[in-house]
Chain A
């Protein structure tokens, strides 16, 4: 590992320092955020509500309080107004004055006085002056009411006024801008109750007027109507807008039963237009619910489409309809403080993380620096610098590691220095060897030149050899041809031999058989001769012929045929050996030898020959033929025993490598050295006169042993005895 790859291995985000910073920073941020969030929004599944909900509840409480207060004040005002107007309209002085006034006016009209003339006359009357004074008194003593006016219900003509200015004017003509107001309206209202409220804007005026009407009755008959005029901007607006507690965006507003605003709004509409009272209808939920007669708290959009917290109340005006009042505050403002807190909390936590990171950085450096040092040292050691010493004094695990590292480095150093020593020695040896090899190189070069010469010579010889090889192959082919011919000749010879010896036997059987028949005939003849009476000399002569001459001839015939038969048998055997395949088996020689001796028992019985057989090793051969071999050998030993001493025949055997060697030893007449080569030849026989035998026994043995790829040899000393050694394969796979 080199330094470069070492540096590379710690990536920007894979170092311990970075990882720790990242993990701890994340942990810190998540913890703070969770704490802050649960503080503000509450813990889920618990009763802990969180500051957000608490704040919301607080604001709703406040709004309710304000709304209730305002509603109460408004209702009290209305009640006061109702009480006042009822008191004025039921005042007996007013009633009597109106009745008097109306009667007088009627009289004047009946007298043909009308128009300006009539009203000029009326203004002079004492009744009128007293009534005007009364109304003037109300106007001056009650700041709430402006311009009290009494007018006729049927015609709408003004009958009384604080001054005399508006007398004779028609009130119904003085209708409102946005609503219909006439005799029907009033009559309908007075059927249900004695008060009629009307909010409206008089024609040609900008201010909203809040007017209250009450009937003046004379024993249930409505003789006139009293009207009191209340200026909204002077009286209701302050009521709505004072009292505080609504903050910067907070607002209280009133709508009528058709949700038309009764007071100017605090904020313009989203399209920047300023809505006009009695023209603009609010569609937002709080106003809707309030105008319908419901009361409650809601968080919803207001007329601007901005989220607000609102309390809405219903203020009944008549038995049928009433007004809606909404006291609201922008949500943003409500939670402004809270959001601000959150923002600061976040900023604080970010700063906290920073501070934390710096701390961690310092702290982690304390841990990672030793590790880095250790690593650098490891890299240096890796590059072979074993002198580096770790100077880490910390007493923690890293300190231990540094100690271990130092120890390891020292051990390495030791082994390296040993190694270097060895390398130096080896190098010196190499240098020596190199010197030697340089010398040797010179020798080698010379040798190489010599070799090259040799190669040239060899190539020349090779050519000669190849010619020789071709020549030899020619010879080989010729030899193969010759061999095939020889095999054919051999087979031919064997079949001739077989046929000849077989066919020769047939006449031999006849000679033998009829010779015997002749013997029977002579026996019969002798018997007959004894019975016959013939002269003694003739009888003697015939008898001698029959007893001596004929049997002698027959004896020669029999001996001759016997010899011929033996010869033929041997020849047949030899020819058979050539014709038949070997059947190789593992032979237990002890059993085989017992069989051989058993078949020869009759011959041994007659002689004074003792046979000794050792424990014999086994071999692999054709058991019939090996039987023949040992039969022949022992027969020979019996045949050629020395009559002057007791014969001993010893049979032994031993194993040599993969061969088994058997020895048949006798103490017979032995074989002269000059004959030892010839004994295996066809028809050779020792002492032909002395022994009866075909002389083919050893030839047959030789042939059998040859077929087994074995070996037979003889060791003999004339007059002492002979040893025949037979060598055969011990195991099957080694034999052919």
Chain B
């Protein structure tokens, strides 16, 4: 993955976020990582609202999205992004504690790229993140607004 791709982690649990970050780094991902703790912040960033950080034109983003978050949950974030003509191009990877097959299917129907379940067995989690890291290394992520 090219360096300029920014990884956005939408995760309400600091511990989870930290673990994801650590494992990504351990897997060799050196990209810039921004962390938001709820769906609202995440949407504000992408839709350039509020006081926080905002997405920038010409940059590529990748979103790691948790489903269960306070205020605005992951489904809603995914729905809004996919409803936007421009933002729908951002790859979204669901990382969540649920392994309920019906929720997995729901996410795929809504347009997520990858669905990763956070296993309690840490080895598996690390393995999953590692594989994600490897995937991210080879994947070509489109830039925001470049074609406008």
Binding site for B on A (CB under 8 A): 502-503, 505-510, 512-517, 561-562, 564-565, 569, 572, 576, 580, 624
B13 and A516 contacting across the interface, CB-CB below 8 Å? no
Query: What chain A residues lie within 8 Å of B3 (beta carbons)?
Result: none
Query: What chain A residues lie within 8 Å of B19 (beta carbons)?
Result: 509-510, 513-514, 517
Query: What chain A residues lie within 8 Å of B9 (beta carbons)?
Result: none
List 5 contacting pairs A-B, 8 Å CB cutoff, sorted by A.
A505-B118, A507-B15, A514-B15, A562-B121, A572-B98
B68 and A512 contacting across the interface, CB-CB below 8 Å? no
Which of A509, A517, A572 counts the most B-chain CB atoms under 10 A from its CB? Answer: A509
B15 and A516 contacting across the interface, CB-CB below 8 Å? no
A517 and B101 contacting across the interface, CB-CB below 8 Å? no
Query: What chain B residues lie within 8 Å of A515 (beta carbons)?
Result: 122
Which residue from chain B places its CB closest to the CB of A573 in the assembled complex?
B100
Which residue from chain A places its CB closest to the CB of B68 in the assembled complex?
A502
Query: What chain B residues lie within 8 Å of A503 (beta carbons)?
Result: 68
A505 and B97 contacting across the interface, CB-CB below 8 Å? yes
B102 and A580 contacting across the interface, CB-CB below 8 Å? yes
A513 and B15 contacting across the interface, CB-CB below 8 Å? yes
Which residue from chain B places its CB closest to the CB of A505 in the assembled complex?
B97
Cα A510 to Cα B121 in complex, Å, equals: 11
* Contact (A512, B16) CB under 8 Å given A502-B68, A576-B100, A580-B102: no
Query: What chain B residues lie within 8 Å of A510 (beta carbons)?
Result: 13, 15-16, 19
B120 interfacial by beta-carbon distance below 8 Å: yes
A513 and B101 contacting across the interface, CB-CB below 8 Å? no
Q: Chain B 71-112, CB within 8 Å of chain A: the 1/0 string?
A: 000000000000000000000000001111110000000000
Cα A576 to Cα B100 in complex, Å, equals: 8
A624 and B101 contacting across the interface, CB-CB below 8 Å? yes
Query: What chain A residues lie within 8 Å of B16 (beta carbons)?
Result: 506, 509-510, 513
Shortest beta-carbon distance from A558 to chain B in Å: 8
Query: What chain B residues lie within 8 Å of A516 (beta carbons)?
Result: 122-123, 126
Cα A576 to Cα B104 in complex, Å, equals: 14
Which residue from chain A places its CB closest to the CB of B124 in the assembled complex?
A512
Majority SS of interface residues in chain A?
helix
* Contact (A506, B120) CB under 8 Å given A513-B19, A514-B15, A517-B22: no
Shortest beta-carbon distance from B10 to chain A in Å: 14
Q: Which of A507, A561, A572 contacts B100 (CB 8 A)?
A: A572
Q: Which of A502, A562, A580 contacts B97 (CB 8 A)?
A: A502
Shortest beta-carbon distance from B79 to chain A in Å: 20
Shortest beta-carbon distance from B27 to chain A in Å: 14
Shortest beta-carbon distance from A515 to chain B in Å: 7
Cα A514 to Cα B19 in complex, Å, equals: 8
Cα A516 to Cα B22 in complex, Å, equals: 12
A502 and B98 contacting across the interface, CB-CB below 8 Å? yes
Cα A508 to Cα B118 in complex, Å, equals: 11
A506 and B125 contacting across the interface, CB-CB below 8 Å? no
Shortest beta-carbon distance from A626 to chain B in Å: 15
Shortest beta-carbon distance from B16 to chain A in Å: 6
Cα A516 to Cα B123 in complex, Å, equals: 8
Query: What chain A residues lie within 8 Å of B15 (beta carbons)?
Result: 507, 509-510, 513-514
Cα A503 to Cα B99 in complex, Å, equals: 13
Query: What chain A residues lie within 8 Å of B100 (beta carbons)?
Result: 572, 576
Known: A565-B120, A569-B99, A624-B101. 9 other contacts (CB 8 A): A503-B68, A505-B118, A509-B125, A513-B15, A561-B120, A562-B121, A564-B120, A572-B100, A580-B102
Q: Chain B 16-32, CB within 8 Å of chain A: the 1/0 string?
A: 10010010000000000
Cα A502 to Cα B120 in complex, Å, equals: 12
Shortest beta-carbon distance from B65 to chain A in Å: 15
In the complex, the 5 A-B pairs of residues with the closest C-beta atoms, listed nearest first: A565-B120, A510-B15, A516-B122, A513-B19, A505-B97
Shortest beta-carbon distance from B74 to chain A in Å: 13
Query: What chain A residues lie within 8 Å of B125 (beta carbons)?
Result: 509, 512-513
Query: What chain B residues lie within 8 Å of A561 (beta carbons)?
Result: 120
Cα A35 to Cα B73 in complex, Å, equals: 128
Cα A370 to Cα B102 in complex, Å, equals: 104
A506 and B122 contacting across the interface, CB-CB below 8 Å? no
Shortest beta-carbon distance from B67 to chain A in Å: 9
B122 and A513 contacting across the interface, CB-CB below 8 Å? yes
B101 and A509 contacting across the interface, CB-CB below 8 Å? no
Query: What chain B residues lie within 8 Å of A572 (beta carbons)?
Result: 98, 100
* Contact (A562, B120) CB under 8 Å given A506-B97, A509-B97, A514-B15: yes
Give residues of chain B (1-48) contacting chain A, Cβ–Cβ below 8 Å: 13, 15-16, 19, 22
Shortest beta-carbon distance from B49 to chain A in Å: 27
Cα A30 to Cα B99 in complex, Å, equals: 120
Query: What chain B residues lie within 8 Å of A517 (beta carbons)?
Result: 19, 22
Which residue from chain A places its CB closest to the CB of B101 in the assembled complex?
A624
Query: What chain A residues lie within 8 Å of B22 (beta carbons)?
Result: 517
Query: What chain B residues lie within 8 Å of A509 (beta carbons)?
Result: 13, 15-16, 19, 97, 118, 120, 125
B122 and A512 contacting across the interface, CB-CB below 8 Å? yes
Cα A513 to Cα B129 in complex, Å, equals: 12
Cα A561 to Cα B122 in complex, Å, equals: 10
Query: What chain B residues lie within 8 Å of A512 (beta carbons)?
Result: 120-122, 125
Which of A502, A561, A580, A624 counts the most B-chain CB atoms under 10 A from its CB? Answer: A502
Query: What chain B residues lie within 8 Å of A507 (beta carbons)?
Result: 15
Query: What chain B residues lie within 8 Å of A505 (beta carbons)?
Result: 97, 118, 120
Cα A317 to Cα B77 in complex, Å, equals: 158
Query: What chain A residues lie within 8 Å of B118 (beta carbons)?
Result: 505, 509
Cα A76 to Cα B126 in complex, Å, equals: 179
Cα A576 to Cα B103 in complex, Å, equals: 11
Shortest beta-carbon distance from B46 to chain A in Å: 24
Query: What chain B residues lie within 8 Å of A576 (beta carbons)?
Result: 100, 102
Cα A547 to Cα B71 in complex, Å, equals: 45
Which residue from chain B places its CB closest to the CB of A624 in the assembled complex?
B101
Cα A562 to Cα B119 in complex, Å, equals: 10
Query: What chain A residues lie within 8 Å of B122 (beta carbons)?
Result: 512-513, 515-516
Cα A514 to Cα B125 in complex, Å, equals: 12
Cα A562 to Cα B120 in complex, Å, equals: 7
Cα A513 to Cα B19 in complex, Å, equals: 7
Which of B118, B120, B125 counts the most A-chain CB atoms under 10 A from its CB? Answer: B120
Query: What chain A residues lie within 8 Å of B97 (beta carbons)?
Result: 502, 505-506, 509
Give residues of chain B (118-146) contacting chain A, Cβ–Cβ below 8 Å: 118, 120-123, 125-126
Shortest beta-carbon distance from A574 to chain B in Å: 12
Cα A517 to Cα B19 in complex, Å, equals: 8
Cα A516 to Cα B100 in complex, Å, equals: 25
Shortest beta-carbon distance from B11 to chain A in Å: 10
Cα A502 to Cα B12 in complex, Å, equals: 14
Shortest beta-carbon distance from B35 to chain A in Å: 15
Which residue from chain B places its CB closest to the CB of A580 in the assembled complex?
B102
Shortest beta-carbon distance from B95 to chain A in Å: 11
Cα A572 to Cα B120 in complex, Å, equals: 14
Cα A516 to Cα B118 in complex, Å, equals: 14
Cα A502 to Cα B96 in complex, Å, equals: 10
Which residue from chain A places its CB closest to the CB of B102 in the assembled complex?
A580
Which residue from chain A places its CB closest to the CB of B123 in the assembled complex?
A516
Query: What chain A residues lie within 8 Å of B13 (beta carbons)?
Result: 506, 509-510
Query: What chain B residues lie within 8 Å of A506 (beta carbons)?
Result: 13, 16, 68, 97
